[in-house]
Amino acid sequence: MYPRVLYILCMEEKMIKVTDLAYGRLAAPDLDRMEEFLVDFGMIKVDRTKNALYMRGSDGDHHHLHVTELGEPKHIGMAWWAKSEDDLRAISKAPGASEVHEIDEPGGGKRVTLPDPDGRQIEIIYGMETAEDIDVRETLYNFGNNKVNRTEIQRLSMNPGHPSHIKRSAHVVVKTPNLAKFNEWYQTMLGLVRTDSIIDMENQEKDMMTFNHIDAGDEFVDHHVVLGIQSDNAEFNHLSFEAADFDDIQAGHYWLKSKGYKHAWGVGRHMLGSQIFDYWRDPWGRIHEHWTDSDLVNNSHEAERWEPPVGLNNQWGPDFPESFVDDPHLHVL
């Protein structure tokens, strides 16, 4: 569809550098059920139309951080923040990209859409409405070497049954049939940078998983914003959201358990990324993660390659379940 020379030209230089993940876009056949799950997960409905549900977190710099369209259950794609309208115009010249256009959905703003190598819908957005932050209780912790960090009685909640408090969209994990091509596209088109990778032990020159982070120069960012997993098919694995703190994750864990949702993995602390995690499945099996206390990196970070026994281990918590990446509930694009 597009001249080969244009594709090569685009892949040789970074098109833009996105500033963060904005939201994931899923589809579900019942928006009422999806809303109920996401509220129990810790989000707040900001808008709903006849055909889509828009959920926000406590941080107000994003109008919404999760979109569910009405339809057969699948992962449609994800949206990324551009630095400026100039970046929108730049990415609109990429192969398969749309022109810059107004977003005809709640929150407004401008957007360019284009497919990634596996056909996911990638949205590059700028100028979306913001909202007021929502206050979330602050927790103070005493530690072994600082037992007077908190000297007043602390009661996090007089009603112990409540969801977590989602702050922001954090990262996305997907499976791809060509991890090298996947990484090249996200690094050249969106400006992401490899943080760490896990070696394919059957062919140690290749990776079986690659963590990529935002390129913000000297500024510190999350250890990863997208993780690609080598697989036979292009599939969705999970969306991740930052919760307020460790207590908030534990409260959310028992709230979701009391509501009868299916647990996927956790609570534990990862080795790569070092975040405390807890994974839950929505009514159609798609995984949503609570996390807190992640490693941060900047452009001084040196990427490493890890063998699976180390890279997949936890610092503490339950062992990695095979069903986490090989499960019939995962929906092929």
| Each residue's pLDDT tens digit, 180-196 | 999 999 999 999 999 99
Which of 109, 49, 41 shows the shortest CA–CA distance to 248? 41
Does the structure show a pLDDT above 70 at 86?
A: yes
Amino acid at 123: E
Peptide bond into 267 cis (omega under 30): yes
Residue 179, CA atoms < 13 Å, CB-side half-sphere: 23
On whether the CB atoms of residues 56 and 106 are closer than 8 A, the answer is no
CB atoms < 10 A from the CB of 330, how many? 20
On whether the CB atoms of residues 209 and 324 are closer than 8 A, the answer is no
Q: What is the pLDDT averaged over residues 169-187? A: 97
Q: How confident is the model at residue 161 (pLDDT cuts 50, 70, 90)?
A: confident
Judging by beta carbons within 10 Å of its beta carbon (0-12, 13-18, 19+), is residue 110 exposed, middle or buried? middle
> What is the structure's pLDDT at 329?
45
Q: What is the pLDDT averaged over residues 199-213? A: 94
Task: Tell me the three state secondary structure of residue 38.
Answer: helix
Q: Residues, the chain, total? A: 333
**Bridge partners, residue 222, by sequence:** 296
Which residues, 6+ apart, have CB-to-CB distance to 153 below 8 Å?
Answer: none
> What is the structure's pLDDT at 121?
98
pTM summary value: 0.91
Lookup: tokens for 42: 């810790």
Rounded to 5 degrees, φ, ψ at 38 are -65, -35
Q: How confident is the model at residue 59 (pLDDT cuts 50, 70, 90)?
A: very high
> What is the structure's pLDDT at 7?
41
- Higher-confidence residue: 324 or 167? 167
CB atoms < 10 A from the CB of 93, how many? 13
CA distance 119 to 152: 54
> What is the structure's pLDDT at 312?
78
Task: Tell me the three state secondary structure of residue 138.
Answer: coil
What rounded mean pLDDT belongs to the chain? 91
Which residues, 6+ apart, have CB-to-CB distance to 110 below 8 Å?
Answer: 85, 88, 100, 101, 102, 103, 125, 126, 127
On whether the CB atoms of residues 57 and 241 are closer than 8 A, the answer is yes
> What is the structure's pLDDT at 326?
63
Which residues, 6+ apart, have CB-to-CB distance to 38 below 8 Å?
Answer: 45, 53, 55, 66, 68, 282
The 3-state secondary structure of 139-178, one letter per residue: CCCCECCECCCCCCCCCCCCCCCCCCCEEEEEEEEEEECC
